[in-house]
Amino acid sequence: MKDYKYLYHINSPKDLKQLKEEQLPELCAEIRTFLLDELSRNPGHLGAGLGVVELTVALHYVFDLPDDKLVWDVGHQAYPHKILTGRRDNFHSLRKWGGLSGFTHPAESEYDAFVAGHASNSISAALGLAVADRLTGKDNQVVAVIGDGAMTGGLAFEGLNNACTHPNNLLIVLNDNNMSIDESTGALSRYLVDIITSKTYNKVRHEGYKTLKNLNLIDEKRRSSILRFNNSLKALLSDRHNLFEGFSIRYIGPVDGHDVQGLVRVLRDIKDFDGPKLLHIQTVKGKGYAPAEESAVVWHAPGCFDVETGQIKANVPLPDDPMKFQDVFGHTLVELADMDERVVGVTPAMPSGCSMTYLMKKYPDRSFDVGIAEGHAVTFSAGMALQGAIPFCNVYSSFMQRGYDQVIHDAAMQSAPVIFCLDRGGLVGEDGMTHHGVYDIPYLRCIPGLTLMSPYDEEELRMMMYTAYKHHEEGPFVIRYPRGTGSCPHWRTEFRELPLGKAEIKRQGSDIVFVSYGPLGSEVSKVVSNLVEKGYDPGHVNLRFVKPLDEELLLGLTKTYKHVITIEDGALMGGMGSAVLELFSTHGAIVPVTRWGIPDTFVKQGRVDIQHEHCGLDVRSMETKALEILQNARTN
């Protein structure tokens, strides 16, 4: 155990406040050492936390948490916050089953004011907290910390636009590191790089405000007039207008986000400013660890690594190991782009995660990273599709929830031929409940005109992409697949079309039949093999399409088998099993049906195999349940 002079004596912000300001830089160094030591052995998000150490210490030093509220945008910035709020000794359990979440959640700590997993919600959430405090007569402070990557999200601007509508004391801290996960894109990012805030202007405004306040000349009625005067003063003393003051939000900055004592002074100066204000700090993602500073994308979440050498301990795949679904998508997309110049790729800020980087390297003019803006990604893709392009729009399943209206209104209603590739379908592991892609089957299969499919393995993903490409004019397609590797190492076979809406019989049987949807089918195949060895005769259907269903095949199962079991890595309510039951009900087919999938609960973080076991979707659990059904059928 390392010998920390200050860190091991801090179990709450009250302990932190006992330190002198001149001791804070050494504490920041200890927090960085602690983060590197822990995350080198227990993988998590590294770069973001290293970049906000000084900010986190300063916020906890100046404000009175948990009475004051701190809302983090995208909780992977919040690791130092967890360390300072009583979770240091449990930090080894981060992102593990039964341990600490990798993001913030009020159920985990009273210091976590709001759930943080998806980007751009902090300003709206913090504004709600601040306004509610005013309505109930509380005089608490509310702070939102948002990174410039998250500022590209439309929800952030909706919050900014509403911030001056109601009396509040909101402080927005803009953590400007010119990064989110991949490099930040768009005009806002360039604006934050170019913005010039005159020192003369800041000095005049700050001194003027103090004078007016001391003379009791500032009240709520005069605030708007003073803000307009500030904006005019800014225009006179600086060479460009300020975006945030256009929202009538007082702007302070930019300031050095790695000067902890300077941050403490600034936060003390501005914490009692009435009305919404924005503090613009400039930081370096990965600060304090040279490899992370030099390659922020790689060190966003690097996995295990050697702290001394900076060597990432990546698992080297063997020649016969399956490839990740993400890489199969990326390579196949390049092949389709080679075949047809109309093929383009769109991603909302996840080119590395979804492997669209392969297309970006070969065809940069046909690759579009639109930033953290899922709704825009969908509508942008629909617009291109209606003008003759063939867009493959890759969005993580959990993030597609943010573009749902656009899928209905802008894609499906006008049959825009967009091919949506939903990455991270199903349970995703350590990122936990905010990132599970388990709701897409229910929320998409009810939309008219969509074709929904999910591959059994990597080779079938390739064929589904080709099939969607060949039939793109028939309307929007959705291809759902999970994070990580599957079961097929030799996936790169010749393209062939799959018959639309047709399932595949993996094994013909006579007692019970498993109907699986997606890559979980490979685990079902193991269950089937085990049951055959025990003398049973199960069938297995790889459904492939949940919309349209293979009605003829499914209805035929009711005449052949004694029991139908549906298996999906998605929500049971409204999922694939529900679709099968609806079909049987419509046609009066009478057969016992058992549905296996994700129950009506938010599944916590942990390894995917543990999550599957928790939900009864591992091989042993499925085999045990199947044997019970078979034995009951024989006794009856």
Other Cβ atoms within 10 Å of 559 Cβ, number: 8
Other Cβ atoms within 10 Å of 3 Cβ, number: 7
Two tokens, residue 320? 């016969």
How many Å apart are CA 313 and CA 298, to the nearest integer?
13
Place of tokens 């892609």: 437
How many Å apart are CA 500 and CA 232, to the nearest integer?
62
How many Å apart are CA 593 and CA 581, to the nearest integer?
8
Q: Are 84 and 402 in contact (CB under 8 A)?
A: no
Q: Are 59 and 13 in contact (CB under 8 A)?
A: no
Cis omega (within 30 of 0) for bond into 519:
no
Least Cα distance to 478 among 414, 396, 402, 422 occurs for 422
Annotated ligand binding at 177? The verdict is: yes
Helix (H, G, I), strand (E, B) or coil at 570: strand
Cis omega (within 30 of 0) for bond into 254:
yes
Annotated ligand binding at 289? The verdict is: yes
Annotated ligand binding at 4? The verdict is: no
- The set of catalytic residues is 285, 374, 402
Annotated ligand binding at 396? The verdict is: no
How many Å apart are CA 20 and CA 460, to the nearest integer?
61
Between the alpha carbon of residue 45 and those of residues 34, 73, 103, the distances in Å are 14, 14, 10
Place of tokens 């300003």: 123
Other Cβ atoms within 10 Å of 175 Cβ, number: 26
How many Å apart are CA 489 and CA 328, to the nearest integer?
10
Place of tokens 């927090």: 31
Return the amino acid letter for 69: K
Least Cα distance to 507 among 483, 527, 534, 493 occurs for 527
Annotated ligand binding at 561? The verdict is: no
Question: E strand or H helix at 534, and its extent?
Answer: none
To the nearest 10°, the Cα dihedral for 157, 159, 161, 166? -170
How many Å apart are CA 228 and CA 91, to the nearest integer?
47
Count the alpha carbons within 13 Å of 176 in the hemisphere toward its beta carbon: 19
Count the alpha carbons within 13 Å of 210 in the hemisphere toward its beta carbon: 8
CA angle 25, 30, 33 (to 5 degrees): 130
Q: Are 45 and 149 in contact (CB under 8 A)?
A: no
Place of tokens 């995703």: 428
Two tokens, residue 127? 């504004």
Two tokens, residue 428? 């995703």
* CA 468 from centre of chain: 26
How many Å apart are CA 597 and CA 616, to the nearest integer?
8
* CA 34 from centre of chain: 25
Q: Cα-flanking dihedrals φ and ψ of residue 419, to 5°?
A: -105, 105
Least Cα distance to 277 among 214, 345, 202, 351 occurs for 202
Annotated ligand binding at 280? The verdict is: no
Annotated ligand binding at 148? The verdict is: yes
Annotated ligand binding at 119? The verdict is: yes
How many Å apart are CA 517 and CA 603, to the nearest integer?
20
How many Å apart are CA 276 and CA 170, to the nearest integer?
5
Annotated ligand binding at 117? The verdict is: yes
- Known binding-site positions for Mg(2+): 148, 177
- Known binding-site positions: 76, 117-119, 148-150, 177, 289, 374
- Known binding-site positions for thiamine diphosphate: 76, 117-119, 149-150, 177, 289, 374
